[in-house]
Structure 1
Amino acid sequence: MIVSERTTEKGLLVTVCDPETLGETYESGDISLTVTEEFYGGEEVTEDAVVDSLSRATIANIVGTEAVELAIEHGYVDEANVLELESTLHAQVLRLA
């Protein structure tokens, strides 16, 4: 999986995506999501590194079946809040202090 971390005024923004989703656009009804290199590009890392990044995230954007399922498995995302966009999954996390 590919992970990026950015410090923002709202806290740590983490993006995670499955490698094959990078550069793709997914649509469902009125929703369109383009997985750009600019926003989702980063380092290819292990599952443990993804879980570590998500544990510290204030905001997270997650794209890809593998990445979203990992976030669900570790309790960062509720499966009921996952969007299905064509052949992939998308989830967002916002931690309120």
Structure 2
Amino acid sequence: MYLKIYKNGEHVLVAACDKEVLGKTLKHGNTIVEISRVFYEGELVSEGELYKALEEATTANLFGEKTIKYAIKCGLIDPDSVIIIDCIPHAQVFRV
């Protein structure tokens, strides 16, 4: 899984995706979503490294089957909050 962390003061944005979906362009109706290399391609990480980053995140943007399944397994996202865009699972996390 690719992981990229953005920090701005107290805010921590985690962008993570499966290696297989990086760079893909997804379509849903008239909407186009790009799993951008610029935004998501940080370092390839283990599940443990992803978990640590997600625990610290105030916001997370996640794409891909493996990434989403792991976040659900850890209790970090609710399975009901996952949407499917062009056959690729996607979820966002916002902590307030």
TM-score tier (shorter)? over 0.9
CA–CA separation in structure 2 for the residues paired with 1:31 and 1:75? 29
- Root-mean-square deviation (Å): 1.3
Range 47-56 or range 20-29, more displaced: 20-29
Letter in 2 for 1:4: K
Aligned match of 1:11: 11
Aligned equivalent of 2:60: 60
Q: Does 1:35 align with 2:35?
A: yes
Aligned to 2:89: 89
3-state DSSP of counterpart to 2:13: strand
For 1:6, what is the secondary structure of its paired residue?
Answer: strand
Instruction: Report the AA paired with residue 2 of structure 1.
Output: Y
List structure 1 runs of 4+ shifted beyond 4 angstroms.
none
TM-score (normalizing by structure 1): 0.92
Consecutive unaligned residues of structure 2, counting only runs of 5 or more, are none
Deviations 1:35-70 (Å, cap 9, x if unpaired)? 001111100010110011000000000000110111
| Runs of 5+ consecutive residues of structure 1 not aligned to the other structure | none
Q: Using the aligned pairs only, state the percent identity.
A: 33
Does the CA-based 8 Å contact 1:54-1:60 persist in structure 2? Answer: yes
Residue type of the alignment partner of 1:37: R
- By how many angstroms is 1:94 displaced? 0.4
Residue 10 of structure 1 deviates from its aligned partner by 5.9
The number of equivalent residue pairs is: 96
1:23 aligns with: 23
